[in-house]
Amino acid sequence: MRSFEVPEFYRSPIIARVKQNRKARDPRKRDFTPSVLDFGSVRFVMARHFGFCFGVENAIEIAYRAIEENPGKRIFLLSQMIHNPEVNADLTDQGIRFLQDTEGNTLTPLSELVAEDVVLIPAFGTTLELEAQLKEIGADVATYNTTCPFVEKVWKRSAKLATSDYTIVIHGKPQHEETRATFSHARGSGHALVIKNMAEAEILCAFIEGERPLETFWDHFAGRASEGFDPAVHLSRVGVVNQTTMLASDTQAISDRIKQSIEAKSSDSEAFANTRDTLCYATNDNQQATMSALEWGGLDTAIVVGGYNSSNTSHLVELCEEKVPTFFVRNEKEFQEDGTVKHFDWRAGVHQETSDPWPVAAEGEVPTLLLTSGASCPDATVDRVMHAILDRYPGSKDVEDVLIAFEQELDAQPQS
């Protein structure tokens, strides 16, 4: 897989070294066991995979290239390129302006754009409708299009299925940029419907199986279906795709449930389309790696680092919360001098503060923290979070000594 030119200040001397060592010994990524850094006073169990994914690094490289190649020009992003406050803040500092917020609300009217302006499509992609408006203005939307290739893969599969009379059911958050874009591309070729969770999938299956009257369909899915959608007609052939940052296990469970309903009602062996290969590899890897770290045992606390509006990060938090007390933090600035931690409740959408939550192990044992981050979080941020935690545990071993011990332990293990 290709490497990207990402600004050096996003990289981390600690995290990068851990990742490079793991990659060298496991290039095919078969080993999902966590990396363990033992500082004596505290132990970090780090998920095998976390941080910038292929799509995010691709987007960052393109954005900074756009800045370098267009001195003196106005540069606009349709919305946040990725859901990370530090990345977006730095792009803003570089002079980039946003056309919309993450909900699609206007920040800079399109009427202010001229053909000479530079427009960047974010990693989530955009709708066919907005793309058409930009082209009408004369804006070049191809040169600096940062849409993730794995999002585009979902679009292409959706379009292909739609031309074969499949309705595309999208598992995603209805207001998320990526879901809005995928819905637009899917309905551009046929019919599409957005559902957000298994509860809605069960309702949909009840309509498919004839257990709910079709006249009540729009009570549940108003504003979620393509124009002209007829539940009496368009639920006979279905393919399921997802917003790539959703829990892969949830998407698969939803897909299996809908397949069961379709096959129970249809004699057509091809009435349900297999779309398993559209699941994003990076999202899947990060989630599997987090689950593997949770199985390591002896964990006292989990720290998940990332933007508070990041879907993939919130799902990592969701996995951790099932096993251990978990703190969702944006960066090291959430750690206060008095020991208080500011963190985010992603379910309620509110910020919280917890006074001195740091675990104290029994005599002879070491407090153990799981540490991971979302796909849009720079490794440098995780590095600073680690240092902020180490400040709470005086007497920690030297970082270089810990990394050497980690590498020696890796060397002693069989290479994958």
For 65-85, what is each residue's pLDDT tens digit? 999 999 999 999 988 877 888
- 240 vs 404: CA distance, rounded Å: 46
Sign of torsion, CA 92 348 45 52?
negative
CATH code for the domain in which residue 66 is found? 3.40.50.11270
CB 251 within 8 A of CB 201: no
pLDDT reading at 416 higher than 60: no
pLDDT digits 0-9 by tens, 86-118: 888 899 999 999 999 888 889 999 999 999 999
How many domains would you assign to the chain?
3
Q: Are residues 216 and 104 in the same domain?
A: no
pLDDT digits 0-9 by tens, 222-241: 999 999 999 999 999 999 99
Q: Cβ neighbours of residue 316 under 8 Å, at least 6 residues apart?
A: 50, 286, 287, 290, 304, 306, 372, 373, 374
Q: Are residues 296 and 392 in the same domain?
A: yes
Q: Are residues 351 and 286 in the same domain?
A: yes
Average pLDDT over residues 257-272: 93
Q: Are residues 314 and 349 in the same domain?
A: yes
Query: What is the percent of the chain where pLDDT is above 90?
Result: 77
Sign of torsion, CA 39 40 41 43?
positive
| Residue-number span of the structural domain to which 106 is assigned | 54-137
Q: Which stretch of 239-248, 359-368, 403-412 has the lowest confidence by average pLDDT?
A: 359-368
Q: Tell me whether residue 99 is in a domain.
A: yes
Residues paired with 319 in a beta bridge: none
Helix (H, G, I), strand (E, B) or coil at 17: helix
pLDDT digits 0-9 by tens, 140-177: 889 999 999 999 999 999 988 988 999 999 999 999 99
pLDDT at 228: 95
Helix (H, G, I), strand (E, B) or coil at 219: helix
Instruction: Note the residue count of the chain.
Output: 416
Q: Are residues 298 and 350 in the same domain?
A: yes
Q: Which residues are catalytic?
A: 178
Q: Tell me whether residue 36 is in a domain.
A: yes
Confidence of residue 2 (pLDDT cuts 50, 70, 90): low
CATH code for the domain in which residue 218 is found? 3.40.1010.20
| β pairing state of 35-38 and 350-354 | unpaired
Q: Are residues 36 and 59 in the same domain?
A: no
- 83 vs 244: CA distance, rounded Å: 14
